């Protein structure tokens, strides 16, 4: 699936959310047909599946169904993978993208779901990605952590146990140290990561303990 098709996907999502009709336009039909063809093409399947998962996680109606089906349980093993080779990193980024889409808009139902005892791996998984992932993985994982601790429930969950609090602080500190050692603090991509790190530090500093 090309960049142009990704752009078309975004346009179709925006159009679909702003209209009350349930019928596909001809352009929608052509796009879906191409999407199905991409799913059948081994070289394009990964991107097509990633976009499908992101669409499910982003749309308000399908997001709820994703939560009900507990589909994120199939994602957590990829977050906990410590292999840093390219294919593993691509899957790591795609998996983080789905979780990131779920928390993009703060929703207490989503946060409760992610922090439910039956889903104990989202925080450790994100911390693992902050430790072993690429800069993009680190950025998305830190964003997810920040979105979770913005809520009071997420804040309590992450700070109630000292080991959780210190694990996050250690991972955040290591990322800052890596940026400093690499002399990359002024780079644009590094600034995005640093912004999320600072937001996490600022939020964690508000915990009364």
Helix, strand or coil for residue 182? coil
- Which class is domain 29-204? mainly alpha
CB 171 within 8 A of CB 156: no
Q: Which of 113, 38, 105, 109 is nearest to 75 (CA)?
A: 113
29 CB neighbour count, 10 Å cutoff: 11
Look at residue 15 in the predicted model and tell me its pLDDT. Answer: 41
- What totals of helices (H) and strands (E) does the chain contain, helices first? 12, 0
Q: Is the dihedral of CA 60, 62, 65, 69 positive or negative?
A: negative
In the chain, what's the furthest Cα-to-Cα distance? Answer: 58
The DSSP letter of residue 183 is T
Kindly list the averaged pLDDT for each block of 10 residues, start to end, along the chain of length 209.
Answer: 46 41 46 61 65 75 83 88 90 91 90 86 94 95 96 92 92 94 84 94 88
Radius of gyration of the chain (CA): 18
Domain ranges within the chain, ordered by starting residue = 29-204
Look at residue 139 in the predicted model and tell me its pLDDT. Answer: 96
Look at residue 33 in the predicted model and tell me its pLDDT. Answer: 61
Q: Which stretch of DSSP H or E encloses residue 98?
A: helix 86-103
Question: At which residue do the structure tokens 């752009």 appear?
Answer: 7
Look at residue 22 in the predicted model and tell me its pLDDT. Answer: 40
Look at residue 91 in the predicted model and tell me its pLDDT. Answer: 87
């Amino acid at each position: 699936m090309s960049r142009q098709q990704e752009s078309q996907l975004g346009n179709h999502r925006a159009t679909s959310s702003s209209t009350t009709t349930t019928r596909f336009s001809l352009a929608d039909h052509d796009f879906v047909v191409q999407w199905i063809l991409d799913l059948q093409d081994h070289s394009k399947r990964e991107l097509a599946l990633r976009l499908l998962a992101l669409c499910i996680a982003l749309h308000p109606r399908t997001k709820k169904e994703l939560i009900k089906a507990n589909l994120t349980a199939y994602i957590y093993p990829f977050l906990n993978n410590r292999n840093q080779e390219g294919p593993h990193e691509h899957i790591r980024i795609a998996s983080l993208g789905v979780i990131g889409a779920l928390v993009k808009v703060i929703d207490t139902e989503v946060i409760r779901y992610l922090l439910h005892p039956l889903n104990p791996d989202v925080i450790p998984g994100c911390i693992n990605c902050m430790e072993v992932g690429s800069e993009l993985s680190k950025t998305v994982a830190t964003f997810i952590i920040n979105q979770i601790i913005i809520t009071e429930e997420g804040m309590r969950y992450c700070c109630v146990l000292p080991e959780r609090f210190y694990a996050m602080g250690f991972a955040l500190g290591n990322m800052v140290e890596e940026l400093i050692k690499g002399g990359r603090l002024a780079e644009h991509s590094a600034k995005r990561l640093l912004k999320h790190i600072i937001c996490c530090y600022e939020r964690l500093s508000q915990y009364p303990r």
